[in-house]
Every structure is written in C-alpha cells, then in structure tokens.
Structure 1
Amino acid sequence: MNYPIYLDYNATTPCASEVIEAMLPYFGTHFGNAASKSHPYGWMAENAVEEAREKIAHLIGAKAKEIIFTSGATESINLGIKGTFEAYQGEKQHYITAWTEHKAVLDTFAEIQKKGAEVTYLPVDSMGNISMEELENSILPHTKLICLMWANNETGVIHPVEKIADLAESKNIIFFTDAVQAAGKIPVFTKGIHLMAISAHKLYGPKGVGALYVRHNHDLPKPLAQIHGGGHEKGMRSGTLNVPAIVGFGKASELRLAEMNAEALRLEFLRNRLEKGVLEIPDTFLNGSQEFRLPHVTNISYGEVEGEELLKKVNQKVAVSSGSACTSISPKPSHVLQAMGLSSDLGRASIRFSLGKNTSETDIDLTIDWVKKVVLELRK
C-alpha cells in the first residue's frame, strides 16, 4: 500500500525494530507461562518479565515492584479509579479531575458517579491550563483522589505535575496521573505520585500492554483488583501475562530512556517548522499553551472550512487526526477544544499533528505544502 506521511504518533507508534527482535523468541523458543514456577520454561518467561519490569520502572523513576502489568492504559485507568473507589467503599467519596482528560478517565469517573461518588471537573482556560488555586479550592474533607493527566493527548499541554503532587501530598490525597503521552517523550518522575498509567504502544512498543505504577510505602489505600482469578501481579490484576508484549515494552522503555532527550530536541525543531509554515495560511489558529507542552505535538484550527472535508482531504497524503484516536471517528468537535472555549465549527476544523522517530524535514515541508493546498482549495 502507498501509505501517506505519518504524523499521528500520539495515536500509536510503530514498534522499533529492536523491540520486535527482542519479542520474537518469546512467541516460540521461550514460550513458557511466567506463572509456571516448577520448570525452566516458566523460569525463562518469569525472568524476562522481571527484567522488563525493571526497565519500565527505570524509565519513570519507580521501583520494579511498583509496576503492575495491564492490557493497556485504559485498563490501568479503570483499575486506578474504580479500584480506589472500591478501596474506600462505605465512605463518603469525592474525586477531582478536569474536563480535558482522556475519555478513558472521564468515562470511568462517570461510572463511579453512578455508584455514588462525587466528582468535580475542573475547567481550563483558553490555553488548556488548569488553575492551581481552583484545584486547591475544590478539595473537600472527603476528597480521596486527584486525577490529572501529565500531558494532553490532543494539544500537548503539560500540567504542573510537581505542584499537583505537592498539593496532594500536603492534603494526604491520592494523586493519579495519566502519563501515557509523556512517558518516553519527556522525563517523568514518581515523587509524590501514587498512581500512574503508561502504555507501550505510545513509545514504540507493542499494542495491548500497559502498566499501572502503584506507589509503595505510604498509608493511603491501594486500588482493589478489578480482574480476579489467580492473584497474578501481586493480586492486583489476574490473568496470564503477555510475555512477548511485556518484553517488548521493556525494550522500548530502555530505548526511549537512551534517546528521548536528543529526539525531543529534533522533534521540537521540526514541530516549530511545521507550525511556522501552516500558520502562514490566513485564519489559522494554534490551540493550547506554548509555554509548557510536549515537543512533538501541535494542534491547529482552520477557519472557513468544513472539518470533515478538511480531515478527509488532508489524510489523502498526510495521516493525521482531529483528536484522540478513541473518538476521532466521531464528527463531533473535540471535548478538549470545547473545554478550551473553541467554537464547534473551529473545533471540528482542527488537526492534531504529532511527530515521531521517522519524521523527516522533507515530511514536514511536504506536509506544509499539502495542507496549504487543501485549505486554500476548500475555501474557494
């Protein structure tokens, strides 16, 4: 197939060749079940899992025992939020999040609201930033958890995680961050954080595997298991481990740690070049704060064009999305851009460009030319 230029790395990334190579033996030669403790097949698989756990922990600054494997970030988010709600069962419970969170977070909070939880959804300003003052004022005596993402998947805006962690710590409240778009792209840490969701396929690892970081050595409750049957992963997530995918996740984490900083500088240069070129088109607008954001992401709105037609035409030569891959099939405007105050028409006529390892200067220049051509044609 003659694929278009790929600028949708926030949706997913290709597996690095080293990751594929590391995984292959665990499909065939070393096919054992990591829970088989009585023979070498199981030992080999278990060793591979524990090595990967170390590498993933190293990427985020955690201890290996604090990494719980899941099928991906959506499961990690469900385990973190629903598991915490169940851990406080019988108590009055209040949670704080923001309107710009990923749907996996918003939909999970909607579920625990049905079961009696109170949830405060923080607004954001036109740049996508939350107010720390508003966050602090939202805390109630029965607030159990603050859930705010590290970096936004649609705009790249980075929340002040360190300040949020300090506030949560001072109030003895669990802090859960969805770090899916941040881990492996920018340095992250676990100080003051109790729960963190990460995903392999966003950092050049395989799909279908993720992790929940669960902080040890503190007094607040840990989430209760949502999947039962064998007590795997310290009783927090039962089920036979996906050994090849976990090995791939570990290798991808190791690679990202080595190349992340240099790659961030390269991509920031390319992202800025893309923005400069595309924003030369009249009546175009950059969405989100430029002060604190991911180096490889930009979100741009286009006036005087119809959103669905714009996306369809641009995707003929450049693979992009209008927002999260989980909701991009919907013609509705992005909930993130709506929360930032964009009109429905501009929200629909917005494109997220997310760059990655295979993005070249030539790709960027071709993209600028193509987007200009499409927008000007649609405005005729």
Structure 2
Amino acid sequence: MQTIYLDYNATTPVEPGVVEEMLPFFSRHFGNPSSLHRLGRAADEAIETARQRVAQLIGADSDEIVFTSGGTESNNLALFGVMRRFPPSSHFIVSAIEHPAVAQPTARLRELGYKVTVVGCDSQGVVFADRVADAIQDDTRLVSVMLANNEVGTVQPLMEIAEHCRAREIPLHTDAAQAIGKVRVHVSELDVDLLTIAGHKMYAPKGVGALYVRRGTPLQPFLRGADHEAGLRPGTENTPYLVGLGFASQLAAKDLDLGGDVVASQRDQLQAKLVEQVPGAIVHGGRSPRLPNTLSISFPGVTGQRLLEEIPELCASTGAACHSGEVQSSATLSAMGVERDVAAGTIRLSLGRHTTDEEAERAANLLTDAWERLSRSPLKNL
C-alpha cells in the first residue's frame, strides 16, 4: 500500500539538499555564533548567509530578518511585541480566519485588557478589507491579517488593507506561513511591517522560522536574555536549522517559476475529477484567488474523518492540521458561513513539490470509491 501524501499545508518533508547543507553544522562547524574564535565565526557567517537568503526570498534587507523557533513564536513576537508597548486599553484588529498561532495570542491579549475587533470574511473566505478600515479607531495600534488561509487557501487583499493602515500610520502584520514558497511574496509590494515565516511549511525543518520586521518598526521582546537577533530574540542560535531555512529559501526562490504552475494544474485536475464524480461536492473558496496547491472540498452525506479513515494510504486533513480530531467546525469554515454538516464533510487536500500526476489521479479515485461505499452504508458516520 503506497502512501499518497496530500497534506503539505500541515508540514513538508525536509529536502535532501537542505539536510545535506545542515549536517556539517551539527558536528564539524559546531561553534557558538557569539564566540570570537574560528568555529564561532564560521557559525556566525553561516547564519548571516541564511539571513540573506531568507531576505532575498521576500525582497527584504537582511537586517530586517529576525530568526525564531517557528511561525507560532513569530506571530507571538509580532502581536505581543507591538501591543505590550501600549497600555492594556489599546485597540487592535485581527481577522476571523486566523490560525490559532494568532487567534490564541489575541485571546490572551484580550484577557490582559486590550480591545480587539475581529473582522469577518465573505463566503469564499476573503477578509472584508473595507471592514478593516471601518474598524480602525484612534487608539488602534496593530492590524493582523494572514496572507493566505491555511484551510481553504484563499489569498487575502493585503495591499488594500495596507493602504488603510498606511493612511492611519498603523503597523500591519501578516502571517505568511502558508504563502511563502507557494506564491511570490514581496514585502514592499504588500507594504507590510511584520511578516511571519515558518520553516516546516517550505521544506525546511520544524522548529525554525523568522519574522520580517520592517526597519524602524518598534517592537518589544517578550523573552529576556542576551542580545541576540537585534535584541528581539535572545538565546544561542540554532545554527544547523537556520542554515536549513536559508537553503530552503534559496530553493523556494528558484522553484516558484515552475513549481506553482505544475501543482496548480494537478490541483485543478483533482478538483475537476472529484466534482464530476461526486454529485453535490462543494469546493470552498474556489471562486477567489487561492494558493495553487490547496483544495478544500466537502463530500455530501459523510464526515471527512470517516472518509479518510476509509483510505489509510491517503494522508490529508479534515481541516487545519492543528484542528485534526476536533468535531466542531473550524473557525475559518464557520466564518465563511458553511453549514455544520457541510463543514463536517470537508477535507483539505494540499499538494506539494513531490506530488505526481499519478498520485493526484489515484487520490481522486480512492476518494470517489470510498465516498460511494460509505454513501451506501447505514454506518457511514460511525
């Protein structure tokens, strides 16, 4: 039974070339990057090369890249780093479709007394840019809207939102973890002040990421220690993982020209076949710009969990990976107004760099066959 992996939005395999690039820094070039001897300097130089590669991927300057342990820490540093500079009565804005790595820090800031406005989205999962503008108050200190949704893949109108923020001189943060490496991301075009990167979403290791901080954006660290990462993220740097993130960024920049078109074609063929063979199937976000690799689709009359249990060789998700196993509708599908039974029947298929045409076709056939079997069974949702 050959595994078909269609859960690239949850995590990606580390590229062999990335592993090869990392290995010398576990044992041969093991020096502390803060040390002045040759081993320390070698580690520091490797980290700065990685910083340059990450910066080049998003059109930033290397001194605007702060390395972190991943997307969650980057999001926390952005939200707490901005808001803790202001009194607890201050206001900020987030969207209703954010990943828990933004939604949960938002909940904590609310507990601390900060005022929060949550802006909704349309039925396709696109945040209302005009409502962001309407929500801005005199004491609004931050706006945070993701670049691309992790569940349905819809790309958000960041440039329009940025115009509203710029007019009121309000910093704009975006969680770009799902977009980096799948679509072109250029910070000057988006006009954002803070941007989150997660390594394991782009063929780098888990446990490493970065936060782009536009030069001049005031930020308060929430960890205390030595003066690493421009004083924003103390702690001895994880040299091998940062090297891996840098090399993965270099590969992503080269891959964007061809990879996106290939995976988009595979996704579209998979979607067309499922819609044709499963009467009543519903594609979420299909009428708006989406990530080229992402398909969120609901199968009528069955639950997504039961459907995937029927196909153990297919690795996919019933929603965001962080929600796997939960029975309630995801925050994104709820914000889109998706009915509960439709949400329950939803699975997310996310393709990647190593997906083949044959795997995409086989996945469509397996899902169709499983749906037909379950539709005939009185125990289909048990």
TM-score, normalising length: structure 1: 0.96
Q: What residue is the counterpart of 2:67 in the other structure?
A: 69
Greater shift in the superposed pair: 153-162 or 128-137: 128-137
Structure 1 vs Structure 2 CA RMSD: 1.2
Q: What residue is the counterpart of 2:154 in the other structure?
A: 157
1:237-316 aligned within 5 A: 237-280=233-276, 281-314=278-311, 316=312
1:189-200 aligned within 5 A: 189-191=186-188, 192-200=191-199
- TM-aligned CA deviation for residue 333 of structure 1: 1.9
CA offset digits 1:244-279 (Å, max 9, x no partner): 000000000000001112100000100000000111
- TM-aligned CA deviation for residue 131 of structure 1: 1.8
1:39 aligns with 2:37: yes
- Given that 1:128 and 1:289 are in contact with CA atoms closer than 8 Å, whether structure 2 keeps it comes out as no
1:104 aligns with 2:101: yes
- TM-aligned CA deviation for residue 289 of structure 1: 4.1
Cα distance in 1 for residues equivalent to 2:358 and 2:180: 27
Letter in 1 for 2:162: A
- TM-aligned CA deviation for residue 3 of structure 1: 5.4
Structure 1, unmatched stretches of 5+, are: none
Letter in 2 for 1:225: P
Q: What residue is the counterpart of 2:212 in the other structure?
A: 213
Decide which of 93, 96, 108 is 2:90's aligned counterpart: 93
Query: Alignment partner of 1:352: what SS?
Result: strand
Q: What residue is the counterpart of 2:323 in the other structure?
A: 327
Query: Alignment partner of 1:257: what SS?
Result: helix
Letter in 2 for 1:78: N
CA offset digits 1:315-342 (Å, max 9, x no partner): x121000121112132222111111111
Cα distance in 2 for residues equivalent to 1:215 and 1:224: 14
Cα distance in 2 for residues equivalent to 1:166 and 1:289: 26
Q: What residue is the counterpart of 1:60 in the other structure?
A: 58
Decide which of 360, 374, 381 is 1:378's aligned counterpart: 374
Q: What residue is the counterpart of 1:175 in the other structure?
A: 172
Query: Alignment partner of 2:27: what SS?
Result: coil
Distance 1:226 1:104, change over 3 A: same
Cα distance in 2 for residues equivalent to 1:332 and 1:4: 28
- TM-aligned CA deviation for residue 122 of structure 1: 0.8
- Given that 1:8 and 1:319 are in contact with CA atoms closer than 8 Å, whether structure 2 keeps it comes out as yes
Q: What residue is the counterpart of 2:379 in the other structure?
A: none
- TM-aligned CA deviation for residue 5 of structure 1: 0.2
Greater shift in the superposed pair: 115-124 or 2-11: 2-11
Decide which of 81, 84, 90 is 1:83's aligned counterpart: 81
- TM-aligned CA deviation for residue 91 of structure 1: 6.4
Identity of aligned residues (%): 38
Greater shift in the superposed pair: 237-246 or 336-345: 336-345
Structure 2, unmatched stretches of 5+, are: 377-382
- Given that 2:88 and 2:114 are in contact with CA atoms closer than 8 Å, whether structure 1 keeps it comes out as no
Q: How many residues align?
A: 373
- TM-aligned CA deviation for residue 73 of structure 1: 0.3
- Given that 1:55 and 1:253 are in contact with CA atoms closer than 8 Å, whether structure 2 keeps it comes out as yes
- TM-aligned CA deviation for residue 226 of structure 1: 1.3
Letter in 1 for 2:14: C
- TM-aligned CA deviation for residue 184 of structure 1: 1.2
1:128 aligns with 2:125: yes
CA offset digits 1:150-185 (Å, max 9, x no partner): 000000100011111222111100100000011111
Cα distance in 1 for residues equivalent to 2:93 and 2:236: 33
Letter in 2 for 1:4: T
Cα distance in 2 for residues equivalent to 1:43 and 1:304: 61
Query: Alignment partner of 1:282: what SS?
Result: coil
Q: What residue is the counterpart of 1:186 in the other structure?
A: 183
Greater shift in the superposed pair: 332-341 or 176-185: 332-341
- TM-aligned CA deviation for residue 86 of structure 1: 1.0
Cα distance in 2 for residues equivalent to 1:93 and 1:289: 37
Q: What residue is the counterpart of 2:364 in the other structure?
A: 368
Cα distance in 1 for residues equivalent to 2:270 and 2:38: 52
- Given that 2:124 and 2:288 are in contact with CA atoms closer than 8 Å, whether structure 1 keeps it comes out as no
Cα distance in 2 for residues equivalent to 1:291 and 1:340: 13
- Given that 1:321 and 1:352 are in contact with CA atoms closer than 8 Å, whether structure 2 keeps it comes out as yes
Cα distance in 2 for residues equivalent to 1:308 and 1:247: 37
Cα distance in 1 for residues equivalent to 2:228 and 2:133: 37
1:348 aligns with 2:344: yes
Greater shift in the superposed pair: 15-24 or 326-335: 326-335
Cα distance in 1 for residues equivalent to 2:288 and 2:342: 22
